[in-house]
Amino acid sequence: VYVCESRYTARTKTFKKIKIWSMPPSSVKLVPREVPLPVVRVASMFVSAKDKVADLPDGDSDGFIEKEREDVPVEVANGEPGYQYYEQLRYNDLWLKLGDCVYIRSHGLVRPRVGRIDKMWLRDGAAFFFGPIFIHPEETEHEPTKMFYKREVFLSSLEETCPMTCIL
């Protein structure tokens, strides 16, 4: 579970609380937790290497009930010609839907970045997605005394189109 409560603006090098989340439309109804997860702020430089390894996806699907699913195409206003857009899509035995967050390959960084899928499509047999990128505290400029949640990420102003091949 990652925590994201702030947006980071690289131009002004400032953090700002997120008041309203912009999410793609979805028919999924979220149920609030009965007991909120405890969160503790830690200095980002003191996160141990063991914790960084625990951050990586392990691919373990125990505890999930598999049910039959299918690709769900969706019509997009002002969509590009020749693109088939999807609300839900299977890619390399991984089911993805709009609003999902995924680890994406990040060259030159210790940890993979997190991206949110706001649009996904197939073009000439190749799959792509578009959405905002979340960054880790070490990718920001901040006071050395600033404390962060253990697995905190920040919504950046960076939005990218990525091939599905970059999903870890």
Beta bridge partners of 120: 129
Tell me the CA distances in angstroms from 31 to 1, 41, 49, 63, 151, one per residue in order.
Answer: 16, 25, 34, 19, 22
Specify the CATH number for the domain of residue 126.
2.30.30.490
pLDDT score of 49 more than 70: no
Region of 125 (left: φ > 0; alpha: ψ -120 to 50; beta: rest) is left
Q: Is the pLDDT of residue 58 over 60?
A: no
- Min mean pLDDT across 12-21, 34-43, 103-112 is at 34-43
Q: Which amino acid is at 140?
A: T
Sign of CA dihedral 95, 99, 103, 107: positive
Question: Which pLDDT value is given to residue 98?
Answer: 92
How large a percentage of the chain has pLDDT more than 90? 27
What pLDDT is stored for residue 137 in this prediction? 87
74 inside domain: yes
Residue 64 has pLDDT above 60, yes or no: yes
Q: In terms of DSSP H, where are the helices of the chain?
A: 49-54
Per the domain annotation, does 32 fall within a domain? no
pLDDT single digits (tens) 67-86: 788 888 888 888 888 899 99
Within-domain flag for 127? yes
pLDDT for res 120: 95
Look at residue 29 and tell me if it is in a domain.
no
In the numeric block, which tokens belong to residue 111? 């940890």
Query: Can you give the residue range of the structural domain that contains 104?
Result: 6-23+40-55+70-166
